[in-house]
Amino acid sequence: MSPPTRRRVWTLSRWGRSPTRPTSWTCRSGREKCGSSGDSADIRYGIIHSGRRRPSRVDRAVVKYYLFEATRNAHLSGPVWVLFLLSRGVSYSGIGLLDAVFSVTILVAELPTGYIGDRIGRRRALLIGTAGGAVGSIAFAFGRSLPTLLLVYVLLAVSQTFSSGSDSAWLYETLETRLDGDEFARVRGRGRALGLATGGVAALAGGVLGSVNLAWPWLASGLVTAIAVPVVATFPEPTGEPGGDQTQLGAFRSAREQLLGPDLRWFVFYTGVFAAVMGVVNFFVQPVTRDAVAGLSVAGYSPDGVVVIGAVYAAFSLVSAVVTANAGRVRAAVGTAGWFRLVPPALGALLAGVALAPAAAVPLFFVLRAVRSLTEPLQGQYLNDRIPSLGRATTLSAVAMAHSLIVAPFEIAGGRLADVLGTIETIAVLGVGLLLVGLVWAAAHSDFS
C-alpha cells in the first residue's frame, strides 16, 4: 500500500526560503490563487507576506505544541522511579509486574481511547490524558504497597493511551492541513528535543529532591505536568474534527486492516521488540549507575548517588535533545529504511558486549537514549505516511496496543532474569535477542522503504 496522496499547500513569501517557482500556487484556503511567476513559496512557517511579516495560526499552533512537549516531559521522577520502587520493598520481579500491568492496560485501553480521540477530537483526548497523568504522578508519591502502586499504574497507563495516538494524529493533521505533512518528522523531532532539554533540567532537580525524599520528585512531576493542561486547552482542532460519521466498528476494522497490511504488520512487530528491549534495559539504568558511582570520591567529596543519577539523566536529555533536533537530517541522510535495517541490530550487538565489559554499561546508556529518541519521530513519520486521516488516531493507538502485547512478556521475563542472573547479564541477553531479531528482519525485508 502506497502512502495516501496529499495536496501540497503553498503560501506566499517575498522572503521565503523555498526556491522561486515558475507557476502560481494555491493559497492556504484552497479557493484562490495567491501568487504568480517570480514569487516564492514558504511552506516551512505557513506565513503569507504582503510587505510585512504576519504570524499565522499555524505558527501559533506549532509553538503551542512545543510548549506542550516542554511541560509534559518535565519528569522530575525519571531519575528515581526504580529507586523509589526498590525503597518501597518492590523487587525487580515486582517492577517487571508493574510495567507488565502498565503494558496490558495499554493493550486493553489503546483502541477504545484512540476511537474516543477520533470521536471527541484530538484536543479533548489530550486534555484527558494530560490531566490524568498529573493526578497519577501525585498519587504515586503516596503509594506504599504493590497493590496501591498497581492501581496508580493503571491510571497512568489509561492517561497515556488518551495521548499516545492523539498527539501524533493532531500534529500530523495540523501540519498537513496548514503546512505540509512531510514536515512531521522535523517538527516532532524539534518538539521532542525541547521536551528532552526540559527533561534534563527536571532530572537535575529530581535528583536533588530525591536525595532528600524519593517521593518528592513524583509530587513535583505532577504539578509541572498540570501546567500543560491550559496549554492543550488552547490547541486548535484540525479541519474535520471530530471524527464525523465513522462508526466504532468501522474504525476498528480500518485499524485492523492497516495493522495486517503488508506495509505495517512486520514493521510494527519489529519496532515492538525494539521498544520492549529498550523498556526492560531502562529498569537497570538507575541501579547500575548507582553501583558504578558507589564509593566515588572527587577531591575528598563523595556525592550522593541519587544526585549523581539526576545529573546522568540530565546528560541523557541533553544528548537526546541534540540528536532528536536533527531527526529530519538523519532521515534525509540515511532514510527510514537504512535506519531500521542498521541501527537496532548494531545497538543489540553493543548491549550484548556489556557481558564482556560491564564498565561500558553507563556510557552505553547514553547511546541507547540517543537511538531511542531518534527512532520515535522516524517511526511516527513512516506510520503516519501510510495511514489515512479517517481513523488515524484509532490506528496509531492500535499500533501502541500491539507494542504493549509484545512489551508485557518481555518486562515480566526481564525482571525475573534480573533477580536470577543479575542486571548486567540480563542486559546482555536482551542485546543478543535484539541483534538476532534485527538481522532476521533486515534480511527478510530487503525491499523495505
pLDDT for the residue numbered 262: 65
Half-sphere exposure of 140 (CA within 13 A, CB side): 32
Nearest to 334 by CA among 449, 442, 437: 449
Strand locations in 18-164 (E): 40-41
Nearest to 284 by CA among 103, 413, 85, 92: 92
Give 32's pLDDT tier (boundaries 50, 70, 90).
Answer: very low
Q: Is 67 in contact with 229 (CB distance < 8 Å)?
A: no
Query: pLDDT digit string (tens) for 283-331?
Result: 899 999 888 877 666 666 666 778 888 888 888 878 877 887 787 788 8
pLDDT for the residue numbered 200: 82
Q: What's the chain's length in residues?
A: 449
CA dist., res. 153 & res. 133, Å (int): 10
Percent of the chain, pLDDT > 70?
Answer: 75
- Residue range 366-378: average pLDDT? 87
Higher pLDDT, 129 or 109: 129
Query: pLDDT digit string (tens) for 249-289?
Result: 565 666 666 666 666 778 888 999 999 999 899 989 999 98
Give 20's pLDDT tier (boundaries 50, 70, 90).
Answer: very low
CA dist., res. 258 & res. 355, Å (int): 40
Higher pLDDT, 111 or 145: 145
Higher pLDDT, 419 or 398: 419
pLDDT for the residue numbered 248: 56
- Supply the mean pLDDT for the chain: 78
Enter the pTM of the model.
0.66
pLDDT for the residue numbered 56: 45
Peptide bond just before 238 cis, omega within 30 deg: no
Query: pLDDT digit string (tens) for 406-448?
Result: 888 998 999 999 999 999 999 999 999 999 999 988 887 766 6
pLDDT for the residue numbered 374: 86
The H or E element that residue 12 is part of is strand 12-13
Q: What CATH number does the domain located at 57-444 have? A: 1.20.1250.20
Higher pLDDT, 360 or 177: 360
- Residue range 132-147: average pLDDT? 91
Whether the per-residue pLDDT at 14 is higher than 80: the answer is: no
Q: Is beta strand 12-13 parallel, antiparallel or unpaired with respect to 40-41?
A: antiparallel
Give 334's pLDDT tier (boundaries 50, 70, 90).
Answer: confident
pLDDT for the residue numbered 25: 38
C-alpha distances out from residue 41 to 34, 57, 193, Å: 10, 17, 27
Nearest to 167 by CA among 196, 192, 203: 192
Q: Which residues contact 127 (CB under 8 A, 6 or more apart)?
A: 229, 232, 233
Q: Which residues contact 372 (CB under 8 A, 6 or more apart)?
A: 278, 320
Q: If you average pLDDT over each of 52-61, 157-166, 234-243, 393-402, which comes out highest?
A: 157-166
Helices (H), 262-304: 265-283, 285-293
CA dist., res. 92 & res. 119, Å (int): 39
Give 166's pLDDT tier (boundaries 50, 70, 90).
Answer: confident
Domain ranges of the chain: 7-54, 57-444
- 8-state DSSP, 360: G
CA dist., res. 255 & res. 245, Å (int): 16
Whether the per-residue pLDDT at 405 is higher than 50: the answer is: yes
pLDDT for the residue numbered 177: 73
Whether the per-residue pLDDT at 102 is higher than 80: the answer is: yes
pLDDT for the residue numbered 387: 75
Query: pLDDT digit string (tens) for 54-76?
Result: 444 446 878 888 889 888 888 88
